[in-house]
Structure formats: C-alpha cells, structure tokens
Amino acid sequence: MSEALEQYTKHIRFERKFSEHTVREYTSDIKLFIGFLNETNNNKEPLSVTSKDVRGWLLSLLEKKESKTTIHRRISSLKSFYKYHIICGHIKKNPAQNILLPKKQKQLPSFLEESQVDALSLSELPTEDFSEMRKNTIISLLYLTGIRRAELINLKINDIDRDRKYISVLGKRNKQRNIPIPDWFMQYLDCYIRLRRKTHGNENDYLFVTDKGKPLYPKFVYLLVRNTLDNVTTMTKRSPHTLRHTFATHMLNAGADLNAIRELLGHSSLAATQIYAHNNFEKLKKAHKQAHPRN
C-alpha cells in the first residue's frame, strides 16, 4: 500500500469512523487506480497525477464494461482521497473533481409486498430452537426498524430500552438514533434474549451471536436473509437492504411523513429518502394504467 493511501485509510477509519465495509470499498477503488497508474504511467505517484490520468482510468473502466454505478463509486472514492490530501497540504488541486461521468440510470429500490411479509410469519410464537429464534428475530428486527446490516451486527443487549420500547442504534458517522418497536416484538425480544443467554451465557453483550457465541459477521447476516426470502419471493435482490427498503416503502404507503422515515432510516438528507416517494409514485402510475378505462 502506498504511503498516501495508508494515510488516507487511517483517516477514514479512525477519524471519519467510516464502517469497515466502506473503508474496504474506498481502499479497493484507490488501489485499482494505483494499479492502473503502474501499468500505464511507469509507476506514476498517485499524488502527481492530472485530470488526464483520471480520465484515462475512467475510459479503461468503461472498456471493461463496469456498471455505471460502480464507476461513479470508484471516482467518488478518488475524489475523497484527493480531497483529504488537499486538506493536508500535499496537493493543491483535485484531479478527479471535474471528471464527466456517464449518466446513471435511476434504479428503484426492490421491496417485498405486504402479502410476502405476511408469509414470513414474523409474529409466530417463540421457539426453544436457538437458530430458528435468532433467524426470526433478525428478520423481524430488520423489517420493523429498517436498520442497516452493520447496525444490526453491532447491536448490544443494553441498546434495548424495555420501558420506552425502542432500540438505540449507532449509525453512520457515529450518529445515534432511537427507533420504536411494537409491544408484541418487545415480548418476543425478551424471549430471544433469555434463550440467547441460556444457550451462550454472558461471554459478550452482543444481541446476536453465531452458534459458537461469537459476534455475527456481514456474510452470515446476508445468507440468513437471502435464504429466508427465498421462501417468499423470486426477486433477484434478496438482501438485508431489501428489508430496509421494504420497511421504508410500507411506512410511506401507510401514510408516514417522509421526514419521519428519513430520521428512522438515519439518512443525513431528505434526498436519499425521496427515492421511496418515487417508488410509491411509480406504483400509483401502474395501478392507474391498469384500472383507468381510457388506458
């Protein structure tokens, strides 16, 4: 790893406190760019590049037929990298700043229909099978609160306020938010925690643990959700984020205010939440087209 990249990685990990997933993605993107420089510019130092070098990399990404979304993220990583080094005084201009990017096609979030959520039987009676109970609790919590996978993994038992019936979540940029949970699920959580302690004791205070009593990891949660959703949908995207999209969409359909949904999701701006309003509008257009006598 180059010294410039190592400094930046420490900055986003320890000072900006980005998630490990984000740190890995940003670092990987910048390593790819440095690899491109090594192949085409005789090991040119990343802090001495020009906009021409960045445009050359962009063209190579397009030639490899990388998706527009991936290309946007890679250039965004590069912009962040150079912005940091400008602040540090190592360079004066950001060579990635004014790069013209291919227009992204806006993709609407995939979500489950309410009938599909019903088919998951989330409110079934608790069981003494720890793996089954853990699965039901995770799926329910993701759908009922819309929290991110990383937020779920980091939840501690003490993050649950039983009296006021909410969970306290530490989101991106270390921002904390409280999300209410229904009475029936509070009772379900109590049953799960009793079984979790009975099965794995108090070695750590993570709410969710593996069969060996260790904290969960991203792939564990992804496969658990994907395998569960396989039973109710044939959608291509079946991930923890699908349940986050489903939470937001169902809240909006039920009449929740967009700003309230933004706060529950932990979005820093309303722009990120407005995609769900667009999703709802597209659904209305479809219903109108199917039902209106002149269509």
Residues with active-site annotation: 148, 172, 241, 244, 267, 276
Q: Which of 276, 133, 108 is nearest to 195 (CA)?
A: 133
Q: Is 139 exposed, middle or buried (0-12, 13-18, 19+ CB in 10 A)?
A: buried
208: left (phi over 0), alpha (psi -120 to 50) or beta: beta
Rounded to an integer, what is the distance from CA 158 to the centroid of its chain? Answer: 23
Residue 40 and residue 52 in contact, taking contact as beta carbons nearer than 8 Å: no
Q: Which of 145, 170, 143, 149 is nearest to 159 (CA)?
A: 170
Distance, in Å, from the CA atom of 133 to the CA atom of 155, rounded to the nearest integer, reads: 17
Residue 252: what residue type? L
The alpha helices in the chain, defined as continuous H runs, are 3-10, 20-40, 51-63, 68-87, 114-119, 130-145, 149-153, 183-200, 218-229, 240-253, 258-265, 270-291
